Amino acid sequence: MAKAYRFLHAVLTTAVEDGSIRCNPCTIKGASQHEADERPVATLAQVFALAEAIQPRYRLVVLLATFTSLRYGEIMGLHRDDFALADRKVTIDRVRIQPDTGPIFDGDPKPPVGAR
């Protein structure tokens, strides 16, 4: 309902700006706000069970996705030399991009990523 109210409010605001109507009748306070349900979060036991159940080559993907703030494309763009195990650091200097059409390619990460 909130999304429909926001749309109607925007249409009527445009009508006011165009001079088609004098004022916007959509004035219900809070009608455009929507409280989203909280997303379920996997427990640590579920994460480790998934990491054990998945093909071994994908275990690190599950663990990185769980315990880091890396984006999917950043994880997919990682190479072995991006991991400095002694320093416990992962370097993000590329992302894997899969467009709707065309080949998959590596690109530059979003700007704040370098600071992580």
Are residue 31 and residue 48 in the same domain, yes or no? no
Q: Which domain holds residue 27?
A: 1-36
Are residue 58 and residue 109 in the same domain, yes or no? yes
Cα–Cα distance, 77 to 116 (Å, whole number): 16
Are residue 24 and residue 53 in the same domain, yes or no? no
For residue 99, the one-letter residue type is P
Condensed to tens digits (0 to 9), the pLDDT of residues 32-73 reads 888 888 889 999 999 999 999 999 999 999 999 999 989 999
Are residue 2 and residue 57 in the same domain, yes or no? no
Cα–Cα distance, 14 to 2 (Å, whole number): 18
Closest Cα partner for 59 from 74, 77, 47, 45?
Answer: 47
Q: What is the mean pLDDT of residues 70-89?
A: 92
Average per-residue pLDDT in the chain?
89
pLDDT computed for residue 112 by the predictor: 60
Residue 113's alpha-carbon distances to 20, 22, 90, 100, in angstroms, are 47, 48, 11, 24
How many C-beta neighbours within 10 Å does residue 84 have?
10
* Cα 28–Cα 33–Cα 38 angle in degrees, nearest 5: 150
Are residue 28 and residue 78 in the same domain, yes or no? no
User: What is the DSSP-derived secondary structure letter of residue 31?
Assistant: T
Are residue 30 and residue 49 in the same domain, yes or no? no
pLDDT computed for residue 62 by the predictor: 94
Q: How many folded domains does the chain comprise?
A: 2
Q: What is the mean pLDDT of residues 14-41?
A: 90
Are residue 49 and residue 32 in the same domain, yes or no? no
pLDDT interval class at 17 (50, 70, 90): very high
